[in-house]
Structure 1
Amino acid sequence: MDLSLHARIRAGDPEAFREIFKDHAQTVYRHAVRTTGDWAASQDVVSLTFLEAWRIRENLRDEGDTPRPWLMGIATNVLRNTARAGRRHERALARSPVKEAVPDFADELIGRITDGEQLAAAHAVLAQLRRSEQEVFTLCVWSGLSYAEAAQALGVPVGTVRSRLARARSRLRKLAEQEMKKRRADQRRTEPVRDSGQVRGGRTEAARLNKEQNR
């Protein structure tokens, strides 16, 4: 009998797991990068997501044609736990004595500067939303899940996904406008001021040189 992919996953078929990893690992990774703003941490999120998927594989239900919503729900839980662990780590570091700073590996990161800056700006704005709004926005807008898939991933009704996404988009528009105004103001403050005296000084200097040459 031909078993469905979901049934094969529940049965612990290694080939089925390799198949879903190949098809969905990049989706989980991109979602993690956009949520955390951290490439290295996102690789850990991918590993933890698929390890947890293997551990709870018997919980996968026969809903839809793809296990993507199930995987993204696991990834969302992993991201929640990672964020909590990160906050605990930061508090522990704050209590520790200050150590000598480790130099940055600029050569390794130079190719990522532009993308990193853009991602950091987007992440800074997104971080101002409630966690529930962040999760819906990243799943539906950045990772491309449908309302039904996001609802399945988060374990909430479809109507809740719709209302959270509407609030997230409304708040993000306002926050993005504020961020753009702030960036423009910062840019104006850092622009060099032209010295009008340079032109007059240049003409005076030229006149003086002409007089000396005509002597």
Structure 2
Amino acid sequence: MDGDGSAFASLFLRHRDRVFVHCLRLVKTSFEAEDATAMVFLEAWRCRSKIRLVNDSMLGWLLITATNVARNKVRSTLRYERLIRKLPQPQEVPDHSDWVVETVDEDRRSQCLQQAYRSLGRRDQEIIALCVLEDMSTAEVSALLGIPTGTVKSRLSRAKQRLAQLMNPQDRFQPEPVPLSPEEEMP
């Protein structure tokens, strides 16, 4: 077998099943047995010049090597499992997907609101800014703008309706326009 690939292939085909079954007795799963079998034949190829034959057969050497490989694999697995058990348990992390969805929705609503607010007329922006955003009373806004309180209330109502329409253009309901009072018609 001194470097002869076809001789090694023949050896592999002749003994692989017996080596696999032997490995399967020594490890937990068939996957581990397959790995061990592959490592046995890798060792056989690597150490081909040092192998001792018994009765002109390599089977004994392969089975002893399989036992050693399987034991090493089991020991390695046990060391790994012990190490894993020593590690601190991961802390439970809350699912942040809901927060991400809310943040994205808030950003969209905020952008939509800003766009709708910018498309309002100057008077509507002014009344929304003072009454809603700055939380001033209608009496304070009335005094500030020099218009009656009733006018402030009607402008605020109309501005809110326009803003709502701009925010939800798909809404089919459109409230009846409120007629302007004489004070509102003046610039």
TM-score (norm 2): 0.45
Higher relative contact order (CA 8 A, sep 6+): 1
TM-score (norm 1): 0.40
Between Structure 1 and Structure 2, whose CA radius of gyration is higher? 2
Q: Which has the higher helix share?
A: 1
